[in-house]
A and B are shown apart, each in its own frame.
Chain A
């Protein structure tokens, strides 16, 4: 009896967070999972149990799914690489400027997502800073249309947006590395690259995986940036949006969402395994 009341007392403080988690995360997700097996007739959802929506998600949107995963993987890798470099510099190279650098990195989070998209539209456009600089330096004869309204534009914009999110977990992991270990390695004759490869990276695999996962998942689900910067480079999110609006087909949209989720999990797990295999401590 006393054990029971102790357990209750320990769990009680978690109850509010649990209710919020269940109500705002688990319940909606469960609802969409259930209706993903339903069907639609005459624009109205009908309770059913069919896997037709999943079959169609793969058969009809397989090419878009692949394009989405490739774009998201590219964004995830570029973001993680840049974030690692930045976090490494803040942790080991910037000295007393480190906190200031970290602050500058994080302060970009205060800018709105859409404001950043529009800022990059201006930067990448025909009359943007990049084109003007390249023309001014004589590298281009006239402004290039290639920087915006392309998948490359989406990669650049999302990488910029996601960089602070990716820096945080990597920086957190790097902070926990004991300087004495690094000094010991150097004292024993390890070259800087060997220290990085054999000591630093293996000790922050969790942070790197978290950074990649965040950048990858947000990119795989995004449909606003491709619309505004991609110039027609539609990714899976855009087609899911169509099913939920014009298509009147929430079951199909839900099945497509879970398909992306499952495929994304596979990519994240593959990345994690690859990383661990490559940098085994």
Chain B
């Protein structure tokens, strides 16, 4: 948590519930399990609404009386990765899914692929209260139309084991020191890796908008880390936490605050910091899939999720970053401070929201170029 004005123990305590949520999501990750049920189904509910997202993300939906008031039988499908939603929608989910939660970077691709309905912000009463730094992001719009409503966020810091690493790493390149050889943790998170190493390798603030040559250099660097420094290319962040807990790794080439909490749950203290080059940030959005069966209720559900009280409950229960400004004063001071709501601009200078590479040919390497290059890393 390094540069944030909050001590490690407090932040870990604040985020302890997050570990439970993500640990459960990790279980889903293991098999791409579609976990249905677990929610009381009302025999008299007149409308069945289907939703796809991370386990724990349903908290705001279940908060308050939205479901009861609208006589809804809520049917969640829990995911193990954002990509799983894309696959499920393409494989028959279109026309059967009311609402999804998705990493904002994928919205342009999904919109181009015809997987999303445009959203009318005028139909969401809480939209004007959402943090403008998030709602103004270009990636959540496609051809001028809103495709997703931002509702929670976080960052990708460098994780390290303080029992082995005495001095806090100052740069991402510090992980390449000989002392960490064979003990670096990597995660197979395509965009996450690009968000961080695109900036580290090229020095550009936005690590995702690169020329083909720069993109190749970034992947070369990642290949070097994978082949010469990494313990493994872990499939999930949960596996990275396990590796820290088993003392198999000492530093990471990518991170997520939650990893420290999971490791703490296994009795291992892990710390994290945002190095001088900065890092990436994630922001999850609520999206309406194409041919949503209940669009009016989907709008109502979005409005409910981003309303102050469900946002507060979600933030406190899951120790997450939220987007409704009216919620911030209701948060516990420590939680609000950990996400620096008072100065989001400066936080976003160190942890940056970045778009996915463009889909059209031009100055920069496209998303397909990136995917082809990334597969070089997977092959290595």
- Are A234 and B378 within 8 A (Cβ)? yes
- Are A64 and B379 within 8 A (Cβ)? yes
Interface residues of A in 196-214 (CB under 8 A from B): none
B190, B232, B380: the one contacting A149 at CB < 8 Å is B232
- Are B84 and A245 within 8 A (Cβ)? yes
- Are B188 and A232 within 8 A (Cβ)? yes
Measured between C-beta atoms, what is the minimum distance from B192 to chain A in Å?
Answer: 13
- Are A248 and B378 within 8 A (Cβ)? no
- Are A248 and B86 within 8 A (Cβ)? yes
- Are B30 and A43 within 8 A (Cβ)? no
Q: Which of B12-20, B109-117, B309-317 contacts A (4 or more CB under 8 A)?
A: B109-117
Contacts of B87 in A (CB 8 A): 244-245
Interface residues of B in 70-103 (CB under 8 A from A): 83-84, 86-87, 90
- Please report the C-alpha to C-alpha distance between residue A179 and residue B83 in the assembled complex, in whole angstroms: 57
The 0/1 profile, CB within 8 Å of B marked 1, for residues 228-268 of chain A is 10011010001100101111101000000000000000000
Known: A224-B31, A245-B83. A250 touches B232 (CB 8 A): no
A121, A126, A234: the one contacting B379 at CB < 8 Å is A234
A42, A44, A242: the one contacting B375 at CB < 8 Å is A242
Interface size class of A (residues with CB under 8 A): 20 to 34
Measured between C-beta atoms, what is the minimum distance from A32 to chain B in Å?
Answer: 12
Q: List 22 A-B pairs, Cβ < 8 Å.
A: A42-B113, A43-B112, A125-B248, A126-B247, A127-B247, A148-B232, A224-B31, A227-B188, A227-B235, A228-B235, A228-B239, A232-B230, A232-B232, A232-B233, A234-B379, A238-B378, A239-B375, A242-B371, A242-B378, A245-B83, A245-B84, A246-B86
Interface residues of B in 174-228 (CB under 8 A from A): 182, 186, 188, 190, 226
- Are B109 and A43 within 8 A (Cβ)? yes
The 0/1 profile, CB within 8 Å of B marked 1, for residues 51-84 of chain A is 0000000000001100000000000000000000
- Please report the C-alpha to C-alpha distance between residue A244 and residue B368 in the assembled complex, in whole angstroms: 14
B113, B182, B186, B234: the one contacting A43 at CB < 8 Å is B113
Closest 6 pairs between A and B when the two form their complex, measured CB to CB = A232-B233, A231-B232, A43-B113, A149-B232, A245-B83, A227-B235
- Please report the C-alpha to C-alpha distance between residue A244 and residue B87 in the assembled complex, in whole angstroms: 7
Measured between C-beta atoms, what is the minimum distance from A126 to chain B in Å?
Answer: 5
Interface assignment of A114: CB less than 8 Å from any CB of chain B = yes
Contacts of A127 in B (CB 8 A): 246-247
Interface centre among B87, B186, B226 (most CB of A within 10 A): B87
Interface assignment of A92: CB less than 8 Å from any CB of chain B = no
- Please report the C-alpha to C-alpha distance between residue A121 and residue B248 in the assembled complex, in whole angstroms: 12
Contacts of B232 in A (CB 8 A): 148-149, 231-232
Interface assignment of B22: CB less than 8 Å from any CB of chain A = no
Interface assignment of B231: CB less than 8 Å from any CB of chain A = yes
Interface assignment of A118: CB less than 8 Å from any CB of chain B = yes
Contacts of A43 in B (CB 8 A): 109, 112-114, 359
Measured between C-beta atoms, what is the minimum distance from B25 to chain A in Å?
Answer: 15
- Please report the C-alpha to C-alpha distance between residue A119 and residue B253 in the assembled complex, in whole angstroms: 26
Contacts of A148 in B (CB 8 A): 232
Contacts of B31 in A (CB 8 A): 113-114, 224
Closest to A250 in B: B90
Measured between C-beta atoms, what is the minimum distance from A252 to chain B in Å?
Answer: 11
- Please report the C-alpha to C-alpha distance between residue A269 and residue B372 in the assembled complex, in whole angstroms: 33
- Please report the C-alpha to C-alpha distance between residue A181 and residue B273 in the assembled complex, in whole angstroms: 74
Interface centre among B84, B190, B239 (most CB of A within 10 A): B239
Contacts of A63 in B (CB 8 A): 379
Contacts of A281 in B (CB 8 A): none
- Please report the C-alpha to C-alpha distance between residue A250 and residue B112 in the assembled complex, in whole angstroms: 16
Measured between C-beta atoms, what is the minimum distance from B126 to chain A in Å?
Answer: 31
Closest to A227 in B: B235
Interface assignment of A145: CB less than 8 Å from any CB of chain B = yes
- Please report the C-alpha to C-alpha distance between residue A242 and residue B242 in the assembled complex, in whole angstroms: 25
Interface residues of B in 224-259 (CB under 8 A from A): 226, 230-235, 239, 242, 246-248
- Please report the C-alpha to C-alpha distance between residue A45 and residue B112 in the assembled complex, in whole angstroms: 12
- Please report the C-alpha to C-alpha distance between residue A238 and residue B380 in the assembled complex, in whole angstroms: 13
A126, A228, A248: the one contacting B113 at CB < 8 Å is A248
- Please report the C-alpha to C-alpha distance between residue A224 and residue B239 in the assembled complex, in whole angstroms: 14
Given known contacts A114-B31, A125-B248, A239-B378, what 10 new A-B pairs fall within 8 Å (CB)? A43-B113, A44-B114, A126-B248, A145-B182, A232-B233, A232-B378, A234-B379, A244-B87, A245-B86, A248-B86
- Please report the C-alpha to C-alpha distance between residue A232 and residue B188 in the assembled complex, in whole angstroms: 8
B230, B246, B368: the one contacting A126 at CB < 8 Å is B246
- Please report the C-alpha to C-alpha distance between residue A228 and residue B29 in the assembled complex, in whole angstroms: 11
Contacts of A238 in B (CB 8 A): 378
Interface residues of A in 82-138 (CB under 8 A from B): 113-114, 117-118, 121, 125-127
Interface residues of B in 342-380 (CB under 8 A from A): 359, 368, 371, 375, 378-380
Measured between C-beta atoms, what is the minimum distance from B235 to chain A in Å?
Answer: 4
Contacts of A42 in B (CB 8 A): 112-113, 359
Contacts of A239 in B (CB 8 A): 375, 378
Measured between C-beta atoms, what is the minimum distance from A70 to chain B in Å?
Answer: 15
- Are A232 and B226 within 8 A (Cβ)? yes
Interface centre among A117, A118, A245 (most CB of B within 10 A): A245
Known: A43-B109, A232-B232, A239-B375. A246 touches B247 (CB 8 A): no
Closest to A248 in B: B113
Measured between C-beta atoms, what is the minimum distance from A232 to chain B in Å?
Answer: 3
- Please report the C-alpha to C-alpha distance between residue A258 and residue B235 in the assembled complex, in whole angstroms: 25
Known: A247-B371, A250-B90. A118 touches B231 (CB 8 A): no
Contacts of A245 in B (CB 8 A): 83-84, 86-87
